[in-house]
Amino acid sequence: MATRKPFLLRMDPALWAELEAWAQDELRSVNGQIEYLLKQAVVKRKGAAKAATPNSNKNPGLGE
């Protein structure tokens, strides 16, 4: 298994409580819930970046 990078994360106690309740609803730890949400955000961002990128098959200098 790949090693995991530990780091300290400070957050508002109200946000922690929301994440904790959400994690319990989905049978995850808070750490697991945060990792899941971050992975979703990265995938969504990559998809948005890919959609904003012009098709690589077109020639950029031809006004297509």
Q: Which residue has the higher pLDDT, 61 or 49?
A: 49
Q: How many CA atoms lie within 13 Å of 64's alpha carbon, on the beta-carbon side?
A: 9
Average pLDDT, rounded, for the chain: 87
Tell me the DSSP string of 39-59: HHHHHHHHHHHHHHSPPTTS-
Label residue 59 left, alpha or beta by phi (over 0 means left) and psi (-120 to 50 means alpha): beta
- Measured CA to CA, the distance from residue 44 to residue 58 in angstroms comes to 25
User: For the chain, what percent of residues have pLDDT higher than 70?
Assistant: 81
Q: Residue 20 has which token pair?
A: 């904790």
User: For the chain, what percent of residues have pLDDT higher than 90?
Assistant: 64
